[in-house]
Amino acid sequence: MRKDLLTNTMQPKKELVRVVIDKEKNISVDPTGKKPGRGAYVSLDPNKIQEAKSKGILEKSLGAQVSEQFYDELYQYVDHQKARKELFGDK
């Protein structure tokens, strides 16, 4: 179980995606959950990603500026994962 940064609820790790910031302040999506650095878990809900972008939630949690491009990348990743889950179910 991990705490979802966007909904402030505990959810199974497979229901979330990890966003990580490394020592060089590079922010990336971590689908494996094993990249080194400070991580934050976000839900697989594209609407929540848009909300996080408008409220600056990731910036506050990670302590760094998050680019518009990264939010777009995160949104696409989450949208794709959500569609996969709906199509193929839990695997």
Give the start-to-end residue ranges of the domains of the chain: 2-88
**13: helix, strand or coil:** helix
| Full-model pTM | 0.88
Contact between 30 and 20 (Cβ < 8 Å): yes
Q: How many residues does the chain have?
A: 91
**Residue 85 binned pLDDT confidence (cut-offs 50, 70, 90):** confident
pLDDT in tens, 9-34: 999 998 999 999 999 999 999 999 99
Q: Which of the 8 DSSP states describes residue 29?
A: E
**Tens of pLDDT along 31-70?**
999 999 999 999 999 999 999 999 999 999 999 999 999 9
Q: How confident is the model at residue 91 (pLDDT cuts 50, 70, 90)?
A: low
Any idea which residue has 């794709």 for tokens? 80
> How is residue 39 annotated by DSSP?
E
Residue 78 in tokens: 């989450």
pLDDT at position 90: 64
CATH fold, domain 2-88, is: Hypothetical Cytosolic Protein; Chain: A; (3.30.1230)
